[in-house]
Structure 1
Amino acid sequence: MAMMPKRVKYRKSQKGRVKGNATRGNYVAFGEYGLQSLEPGKISAATIEAGRVVASQSVKGGGKLFIRIFPHKSVTSIPAETRMGKGKGEVEYWAAVVKPGTVLYEIGGVSEELARATLARVSHKLPVACRFVTRRPTL
């Protein structure tokens, strides 16, 4: 089932603009390998779920997958061939706002080759360009 917030203060949110690079959530924190976005965009809850399904099929029970993004933003739309006016449309889907540098998925407990192949399959599902990143060594 697609992710969405349990409750929100306001059902409908304004569009907004995605400006700048990610300053938080821009490094691998939980697993050993990650998938980092290279461009801004909105990723729908259905797309996040599709990536999760592909990753879980690819690792076949071995390793652990971490999803680092959550769809907090509601995206509305008006039905096709509707006249102007009559207010803002109903909520169509929920989306995660992604800045360049945000780590989207992380994977741990698998070899680098399997992680690279898995995250490559996940990146094909996403509407933003991504790159494979590894955890920084801690001192």
Structure 2
Amino acid sequence: MALMPKRVKHRKSQRRRIKGNALRGNTVVFGEWGLQSMDAGHVTAQTIEACRIAATQYVRGIGKVYIRVFPHKSVTSRPLETRMGKGKGEPDRWVAIVKPGTVMFELTGVDKAGARDCFNRVAHKLPVRVRLVGRRPVVQ
């Protein structure tokens, strides 16, 4: 089942441009390895679910997968061959806005080679370029 918010204040949202780099959610927090976006874009709820399935099948029993993005934004569409006018279309799908630097998925319980193999499967499903990042040591 695809991710979507339980309730929203407004059913339809404006598109807006995706500007700048991610200021929050750009470091590995929960796991040891992360999949970081290098491009800006929209990742649909179905894509997030497909990535989740691919990652959990790979680390079955030995690791844990963390999903760091959630589709909050609704995208509307009009039926095909519809004339201009008649207003904005109905909500069609939910997307997560991803900026460059956003850590989308995290893994724990696997080594670097295993994380690379797992995230390689996930990266093929994503519409943005990604890279593997490790957890930074805590400076005290």
TM-score range, shorter chain: over 0.9
Segments of 5+ residues of structure 2 without an aligned counterpart are none
Q: How does 1:5-20 map to 2 (within 5 A)?
A: 5-20=5-20
> Which amino acid in the other structure matches residue 49 of structure 1?
E
TM-score normalised over the length of structure 2? 0.98
State the shift of 1:44 in Å.
Answer: 0.2
* Alignment match, 2:96: 96
State the shift of 1:61 in Å.
Answer: 2.2
Q: Secondary structure at the match of 2:55?
A: helix
> Which amino acid in the other structure matches residue 9 of structure 1?
K
State the shift of 1:110 in Å.
Answer: 1.2
- Output the CA distance in 2 between the equivalents of 1:61 and 1:124: 23
State the shift of 1:43 in Å.
Answer: 0.2
Q: How does 1:48-127 map to 2 (within 5 A)?
A: 48-127=48-127
State the shift of 1:112 in Å.
Answer: 1.4
* Alignment match, 1:30: 30
How many residue pairs get aligned? The number is: 139
Q: Secondary structure at the match of 1:52?
A: helix
Q: Secondary structure at the match of 2:10?
A: coil
Query: What RMSD, in angstroms, separates the aligned Cα atoms of the two structures?
Result: 0.6
Q: Secondary structure at the match of 2:124?
A: helix
* Alignment match, 2:134: 134
> Which amino acid in the other structure matches residue 65 of structure 1?
V
- Output the CA distance in 1 between the equivalents of 2:105 and 2:119: 8
- Output the CA distance in 2 between the equivalents of 1:61 and 1:42: 31
Structure 1, 24-33 or 112-121: larger mean CA deviation: 112-121
Q: Secondary structure at the match of 1:125?
A: coil
- Output the CA distance in 2 between the equivalents of 1:138 and 1:8: 37
